[in-house]
Amino acid sequence: MNDEVLELCRDLLRIDTTNTGDLDSSAGERVAAEYVAGKLTEVGLQVEIRESAPGRTSVVSRFEGTDPSRGALLLHGHLDVVPAQADEWSVPPFAGEIRDGYLWGRGAIDMKDFDAMLLAVVRDWRRRGVRPPRDLVLCFTADEEAGGDYGAWYLAREHRDLFDGCTEAIGEVGGFSYTISEQLRLYPIHTAEKGVDWLRLSTRGRPGHGSMIHDDNAVTALAEAVARVGRHRFPVEVSPTVRSFLERLAGLLGIDLDPADPELAIAKLGPISNMVAATIRNTANPTRLAAGYKDNVIPSRASATIDCRTLPGHTDSFLAQLQELVGPEVEIEYIQRQPGIETGFDGPLVEAMGAALREVDPAAQTVPYMLSAGTDAKAFTGIGIRCFGFTPLRLPPDLNFAALFHGIDERVPIEGLEFGVRVLDRFLSRC
């Protein structure tokens, strides 16, 4: 499996599945889906290919287990990636280069590494005649990086039957190592994730000549509102998942944790501090601006896109806070609205994750955490499936893992890929 997972991941990285968010932006998703389908059919699995729009293609396959009376386990990964500016990278982002013990490329950890791990384990089992203890539903989706409307949400809405019997799921992002010492490595398991609220702020004003004194300027009003949003810090609100994570980590590291001011403890967590800091409050970041059509014409309308991530259960209260912040003159409309999700850190599946990790890494301890971003788990939670993030990777202690997501020089340790395959092999054998 070790040799094959590297080959599979390199092949996937070399398929440019860039998703800009436009409907027709990712023809490469079809190529990647056909590649995955071919690798599954080679070992005798039947596949279902579903295309929500031309080129926006997902693949689903069911691997029957020994006990059909048990609920099926959904294993999901997305095939699309965010754009990469080649001149910013040390290597071509779609070349799948191997350098310094890493496999480099856009999607290396988000999340073609996990796609390759799933394929490697399943192909190995099929060749050896191994069957899982319960049905496994393998799902490789399009469009996750733009909210999943043409991928997971489409499948959940239009092809619910493909997930019949699925009670639990694993996907991104969890099971990566955080080294405390050679005797102790934490592996956070994603049991919660923030909501995705992509909003458009709009202002209106009186159009006119750019040379005139003009107090009713839509661009000025928008700029002032966007600046207020970008500089604002919403209040700290610690969820049960984040509280459990911080208490556990603070105890292991000997850090004082003030429940009223958790940021003091979070600042001492090293490379993961930025990721954790984003889980104790709602966030709102301006990402796009649009106004005007000529340099000397004051436009009547201006707009901005705000990427907001809300804590589970806080979507409505956040919207009220945002409206108060920007003022009544600013219109707010939703581009994407997906509430946060949260589940408990308990049950046989959680125990199987921990057991598999410890079998490969005796220093492993698992802990629940909240993902500050969003995943396809929202769509699958919506059809009654309990979702976790478990894409196991053992990482070098000095690697800034969080910075690789959507960042430049994205790469995955080759040893990490091999580790992940071994853990998944054991996990799926006992899940």
pLDDT of residue 275: 79
pLDDT of residue 25: 66
Give the up-direction half-sphere exposure of residue 329: CA atoms within 13 A in the CB hemisphere.
16
pLDDT of residue 250: 81
Q: CA 38, CA 55: separation in Å to the nearest integer?
A: 17
Q: Do 178 and 187 form a contact (C-beta atoms < 8 A)?
A: yes
Mean pLDDT, 10 residues at a time, the chain of 431 residues: 90 96 78 98 98 95 94 97 95 96 96 97 97 97 94 97 97 91 91 94 89 87 95 91 85 79 80 82 94 92 96 90 93 92 94 97 94 93 96 92 90 96 96 85
Q: CA 251, CA 184: separation in Å to the nearest integer?
A: 13
Q: CA 155, CA 137: separation in Å to the nearest integer?
A: 13
Alpha helix segments (H runs only) across 267-393: 273-277, 315-326, 348-360, 377-381
pLDDT of residue 59: 98
Residues whose CB is less than 8 angstroms from the CB of residue 396 and which lie 6 or more positions away in sequence, other chains included:
413
DSSP, residue by residue, 51-106: EEETTEEEEEEEE--S-TTSPEEEEEEE--B----GGGSSS-TTS--EETTEEEST
Q: At what angle do helices 348-360 and 414-430 cross, to 10 degrees?
A: 140
Domains and CATH numbers, the chain: 2-191+341-430 (3.40.630.10), 195-338 (3.30.70.360)
pLDDT of residue 356: 97
User: pLDDT for 331-369, tens place per residue?
Assistant: 999 998 998 999 999 999 999 999 999 999 999 999 999
